[in-house]
């Protein structure tokens, strides 16, 4: 039987689009995929080139800035022009100037003014952060740094009963070696009378923790600080002296240990008594509740 004209016409009319549309879609998808694969490496390469170019431009600009700062005819005037400003640009200028003038002996007073500006500003934490950035940028070894004593004394002056906990936290989390040394020496120089007995004990613990990694020329200051707050016996022990059998220091340690053990025993007895009373109270409550139900 021959197909009806209408059915034959309808099938032929709709069959072609059904096959053509998927074919066009596949071809289009393939073209897009080829374009994307071809474009991907090129775009990535262009992005890397742009990133490198931008970094080079920033480095060149920073080098130009440092060169200009090193050649500045009046460092103190430069600092004074920014002394009353708290905007980020002024702070950034002073940070970079401090580092740039490290090689200029005639800029010591200007650098001291920068340190004072950072430490005596209204925003103490912001000023300390700015100072630490400046110290980290200065590559002068601390032993040859003419500003080192000023830095240690200035930062040490910040620590008191309200701020010492912050300083103790900073010395543990700081990653720049020079800034960490600054924090360590500033804490070792703090006056015990300014922080109270409880904070003294905590500070001694921190100084003892940091003692093994301290440089040899830092240990005399640490010894003095620990002796002032915890007694000379602790310093003797840290340095491996006076711990032989029968020594006075060892006897002191043993006495302290005995007192600690005695305190722990008493504390344990108190806890046991509290637990006993709680159990008895619970049992009594349970009995009373059972009676009330009857």
For residue 215, what is the DSSP state?
A: -
Is residue 255 a part of any domain in this protein? no
Query: Which residues have a Cβ under 8 Å from the Cβ of 289 and sit 6 or more positions away?
Result: none
Give pLDDT tens digits for 164-199.
999 999 999 999 999 999 999 999 999 999 998 999
Q: How far apart are CA 207 and CA 226, in angstroms?
A: 7
> What value does the mean pLDDT of the chain take?
80
Is residue 55 a part of any domain in this protein? yes
- Lowest model confidence (mean pLDDT) among 19-28, 185-194, 278-287: 19-28
For residues 141-170, average pLDDT: 96
Identify the domain containing residue 106 by its residue range: 50-139
Q: How far apart are CA 187 and CA 204, in angstroms?
A: 10
Binning pLDDT at 50, 70 and 90, where does residue 248 land? Answer: low
Is residue 183 a part of any domain in this protein? no
For residues 243-248, average pLDDT: 52
pLDDT for 31 beyond 60: yes
Q: What is the pLDDT of residue 12?
A: 45
Is residue 59 a part of any domain in this protein? yes
Give pLDDT tens digits for 225-245.
999 999 998 898 888 775 555
User: Can you state the angle between helices 88-100 and 5-70, rounded to 10 degrees?
Assistant: 50
Which one is predicted more confidently, 85 or 14? 85
pTM of the model: 0.63
pLDDT for 51 beyond 70: no
For residues 67-95, average pLDDT: 85
Binning pLDDT at 50, 70 and 90, where does residue 83 land? Answer: confident
Is residue 129 a part of any domain in this protein? yes
Q: What is the pLDDT of residue 29?
A: 63
Binning pLDDT at 50, 70 and 90, where does residue 42 land? Answer: low
How many alpha carbons fall within 13 Å on the CB side of residue 156?
19
Is residue 177 a part of any domain in this protein? no
Is residue 274 a part of any domain in this protein? no
Q: How far apart are CA 95 and CA 79, in angstroms?
A: 11
State how far Cα 96 lies from the chain centre.
21
The structural domain count of the chain equals: 1
Q: How far apart are CA 83 and CA 78, in angstroms?
A: 9
């Amino acid at each position: 039987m021959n197909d009806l004209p209408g059915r034959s016409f309808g099938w032929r009319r709709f069959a072609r689009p059904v096959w053509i549309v998927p074919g066009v879609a596949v071809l289009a998808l393939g073209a897009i995929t080829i374009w994307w694969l071809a474009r991907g490496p090129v775009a990535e390469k262009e992005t890397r080139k742009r990133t490198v170019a931008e970094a080079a431009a920033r480095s060149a600009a920073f080098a130009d800035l440092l060169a200009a700062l090193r050649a500045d005819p009046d460092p103190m005037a430069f600092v004074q022009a920014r002394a009353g400003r708290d905007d980020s640009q002024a702070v950034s200028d002073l940070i970079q100037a401090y580092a740039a003038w490290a090689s200029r002996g005639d800029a010591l007073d200007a650098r001291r003014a920068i340190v004072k500006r950072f430490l005596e500003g209204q925003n103490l934490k912001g000023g300390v952060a700015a100072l630490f950035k400046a110290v980290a940028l200065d590559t002068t070894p601390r032993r040859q740094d003419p500003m080192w004593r000023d830095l240690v004394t200035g930062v040490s002056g910040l620590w008191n009963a309200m701020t010492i906990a912050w300083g103790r936290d900073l010395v543990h989390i700081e990653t720049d070696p020079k800034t960490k040394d600054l924090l360590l020496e500033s804490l070792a120089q703090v006056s015990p009378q300014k922080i109270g007995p409880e904070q003294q004990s905590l500070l001694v613990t921190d100084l003892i923790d940091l003692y093994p990694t301290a440089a040899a020329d830092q240990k005399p200051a640490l010894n003095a600080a620990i002796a002032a707050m915890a007694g000379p016996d602790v310093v003797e022990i840290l340095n491996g002296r006076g711990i032989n059998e029968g020594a006075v220091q060892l006897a002191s340690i043993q006495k302290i240990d005995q007192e600690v053990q005695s305190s722990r025993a008493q504390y344990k007895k108190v806890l046991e008594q509290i637990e006993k009373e709680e159990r008895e109270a619970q049992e009594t409550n349970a009995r009373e509740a059972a009676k009330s139900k009857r």
